[in-house]
Amino acid sequence: MGDAIRFRDDEPHEEPAVTLDAFLGQSNATAVRLEPDEDARALLPHLDRLSLIEVAFPKFRDGRGYSAARILREAGYTGELRAAGDVLLDQIVPMRRCGFDSFAPETTLDLEAVERALYRYDYVYQKTVDIRPPVWRIRNG
């Protein structure tokens, strides 16, 4: 495991994340891990008692987790949303834009490079779940 990166001010969640099956089967877990083929919408009835949702990226090329993250944020989830696994420097920006605010990469990332990547683009074209205004909003007031 590489070093974790967090963009949250609250205390990191200590409880280990349980599988989706285990979570749906037991009522008291507050952290869950979502595999790429699992439906993020299964969590929607339970968002208010979740503090951590960890989305697994076994291979960086498997982009299902980006949709999962956005779906969770679009539904109003405000807890920690962590991308875990094959998370590389060049995925941090799109992941942030899809609502991830915590990263558990397999290999430690160069924090300076992450910082540079996050501030490289002054503008974005799309409205997503982050707070960045799309260019069309800036243009049209």
Partner 1 sequence: MYKYDEYDQSIVEARVEEFREQAERRLSGELSEDQFKPLRLMNGLYLQLHAYMLRIAIPYGTLSSRQMRMLAHIARKYDRDYGHFTTRQNLQYNWIKLEDAADILAELATVEMHAIQTSGNCIRNISSDQFAGAAADEVTDPRPWAELLRQWSTFHPEFTYLPRKFKIAVIASEEDRAAVKLHDIGLQIRRNEAGEVGFRVFVGGGMGRTPMIAPLIRDFLPKEDFLSYMEACLRVYNRYGRRDNMYKARIKILIHELGADEYRRQVEEEFLHVKTLGLDPPAGEFERIAAFFAPPAYETGLPDEIDLSDPDFASWVEQNVHAHKQPGHAIVTISLKPVGGIPGDASSAQMDLMADLAEQYSFDELRVTHAQNIVLPHVAKRDLHTIWKKLDAAGLATPNLDLVSDIIACPGLDYCSLANARSIPVAQKIAQRFASLDRQRDLGEVKLKISGCINACGHHHAGHIGILGVDRKGEENYQLSFGGSGAEDTSIAKIIGPGFSEDGVVDAVEKALETYRELRTEGERFLDTYRRVGLAPFKEAIYG
Closer CB to partner 1, residue 51 or residue 102? 102
Closer CB to partner 1, residue 48 or residue 120? 120
Nearest to 124 by CA among 105, 139, 106, 102: 139
Determine the Cα–Cα distance for residues 71 and 99; give it in Å rounded to an integer.
Answer: 9
Q: Are 50 and 13 in contact, with CB atoms under 8 Å apart?
A: no
- Residue 133 C-beta: closest distance to partner 1, Å: 11
Question: Which bin fits 12, alpha (ψ -120 to 50), beta or left (φ > 0)?
Answer: beta
**Site of interaction with partner 1 (CB under 8 A):** 36, 60-64, 66-68, 70, 74, 88, 90-91, 93-95, 97-98, 116-117, 120-128, 134-140
Closer CB to partner 1, residue 18 or residue 36? 36
Beta bridge partners of 136: none
Residue 2 backbone phi and psi in degrees, to 5 = -90, 180
- Residue 106 C-beta: closest distance to partner 1, Å: 13
- Residue 119 C-beta: closest distance to partner 1, Å: 10
- Residue 5 C-beta: closest distance to partner 1, Å: 17
